[in-house]
Amino acid sequence: MNSKMKKFSAIAIAASLFFSLSLNAQVNDGFHLGVGPSFSLSGIGVDVAFQPYVSFVQVRTGFTFFPYTYTSKEFEVKEKELNDNYRVNGNVALKVHPNFDAFRFLVDLYPGKNSGFHFTVGAYFNVKPQDGLINLTTANPIPLERKSGANWVPAAEDYGNTGYQVNDAEGNERYVITSDKDGYLKANISMGGLRNDFSLPFFRPYLGIGFGRNLAMNKRVAFSFDLGVLYCGKYSINVWGFSPAKSELPSEAHFYSVTLDDVNSILEGADVGEAKDIVNKVYPVLEKIPVAPVMKFNLIVRIF
């Protein structure tokens, strides 16, 4: 064996020993478990983190919920005509409830044993498939009236059986916006379009980066920060209704995705100032956004 071969063999053996020792140090790092609260743009939650014997991988699972609901002041809806001699006439308030409630499963990948920087892959699972990202309902049943002769009388018994007809650009009926049987109107802004069963997507892949170890070996309490995106396809606006043109009964009402033509039809003739122009500028952009941002702070207390 010549000197060059001997030198090459020595380097190869040294590199192999170094790699083996490094891998052994990371693989035999033990199993560790921790739990703690999280705070994010989507609300507050709890995370359980564990490290499965290798220092370059940590796994998290948890739950987030948003506890706040906003109720607007009452505003007057004056003699808004509906189908079949009905109208809405009176005061209405709106409830706005963000729904970020979701389970998550995330895997953090660290480039080095002592590195705080990490890549994260995983998914969020929506626990309320009938709720959107932002949910709007009336805070009280709509003041529905029915024409009786020359007079208008309360018509709470007819909730869900009438509504506002939405037409396409050619004037053809698409569906009727209606209340539920208790008199509440419902709409939402969702991450992703409606599925075939008219529910909303429940699975959203996640990709991000972060700083800090959720399970720090020399610390009982650890902090970390995550920044990433959820892939949702595109945002959609949905309203509760049914379609007589499709032989749907009021009892078969479900969410319909609103198109830009629908918005223009709903706002046609209404005193909405510049709202229509704003919608025409914003809605096409909203339809093209495929992701939602995630920013999250974690505090994990190591149990062992």
Place of tokens 């001699």: 85
- Residue 3 pLDDT: 55
DSSP 197: T
Q: How far apart are CA 143 and CA 160, in angstroms?
A: 13
Q: Which residues of the chain have pLDDT under 70?
A: 1-29, 265-278
pLDDT in tens, 175-184: 999 999 999 9
pLDDT in tens, 248-257: 999 999 999 8
- Residue 141 pLDDT: 95
Identity of the amino acid at 215? L
Sign of the alpha-carbon torsion through 284, 125, 49, 19? negative
Rg (alpha carbons) of the chain, rounded to whole number: 28
